[in-house]
Structure 1
Amino acid sequence: MNDINIAATSSTPLIETDFAGGSVFMEGDSYPENSFEFYEPLVQWVSSYLENRSNLVLELSLLYLNTSSIKIMMDIFDMLEEAHTAGKDVTVNWRYDLENERVAELAEEFKEDCSFSFNIIGEE
């Protein structure tokens, strides 16, 4: 399974996957012109990964997400929830700047719908 390494742009986040280490790292803003097209490789990667492995950690440092990016993240979190229900060990660590309350509120909204480990980590 090939890892993904997508460089950040002004409207899309950095995305790096690590199959061997069991992690996904995302950082930056997310308002691509076509979120579904942009995130399709990541959605496929997460789906395939969870079919074959039993643990996954998402390390997020997302600053802004438009509505369609939020929908994609909900889809990814739904996959994690299914994996968790099936006994797999999944975790989200969402880091945010303490001065950016909007991101913390968004992360809290996502966390409300998740029963797996979902950590919201404020940093200065």
Structure 2
Amino acid sequence: MTDMTLTPAIVLAATPATPEVNFDFAARRLVLKGESWPENAAAFFRPLLLAVETWLGEQPANTPPLQLHVALSYFNSSSTKLLFEFFELLNGFALRGTACELHWYYDADDDISEEFGQEVSMDFPAIAVFLKADLSAC
């Protein structure tokens, strides 16, 4: 099944403080990769959240799962708050019938990031969470 969405992809290059963003709506694959410690996390993440929320709201039932791939080697507390808003958004859509997957990539030596992924899995049970101990695999 091909998604004939008219929503354009969102592609942003990584900066020293913000992750690479590649939201390919047609492929139903969203990627956040790099580091996330922007001065204003809300200003960075909220437009992305709005775009995803708007797009998901336009999707018909019984579509393939939306895949969010997150490979952040570092993220600060304000980014954590916005990531949780993102996961909450996806969880809400998953509860209403839109399958959502989170592919959480972490360094095998980073217990904190691994535990964060486990916490997300428990806090947002409608999202299928896949933990992957290889940041470079994203």
CA deviation after TM superposition for structure 1 residue 2, in Å? 2.1
Q: Does 1:35 align with 2:41?
A: yes
Query: Which of 14, 20, 30 is residue 8 of structure 1 equivalent to?
Result: 14
Question: In structure 1, what is the equivalent of residue 3 of structure 2?
Answer: none
Identity %: 29
Mark the runs of 5 or more structure 1 residues left unpaired by the alignment: none
Q: Over aligned residues, Cα RMSD in angstroms?
A: 1.3
Q: Does 1:123 align with 2:129?
A: no
> Which amino acid is 1:85 matched to?
L
Counterparts in 2 of 1:100-111, with a 5 A limit?
100-111=110-121
Q: Does 1:70 align with 2:97?
A: no
Larger Rg over CA atoms = 2
What does the per-residue CA deviation read over 1:41-71, in whole Å, with 9 as the maximum and x for residues that have no partner? 2111110121022431101111111111111
CA deviation after TM superposition for structure 1 residue 29, in Å? 0.8
User: What secondary structure, in the 3-state scheme, does the structure 1 residue paired with 2:35 have?
Assistant: strand
What does the per-residue CA deviation read over 1:61-112, in whole Å, with 9 as the maximum and x for residues that have no partner? 1111111111111111111111111011100001111112221112122221
> Which amino acid is 1:6 matched to?
L
Distance 2:55 2:100 in 1: 12
TM-score (norm 1): 0.93
User: What secondary structure, in the 3-state scheme, does the structure 1 residue paired with 2:133 have?
Assistant: strand
Distance 1:2 1:99 in 2: 37
Q: How many residues align?
A: 124
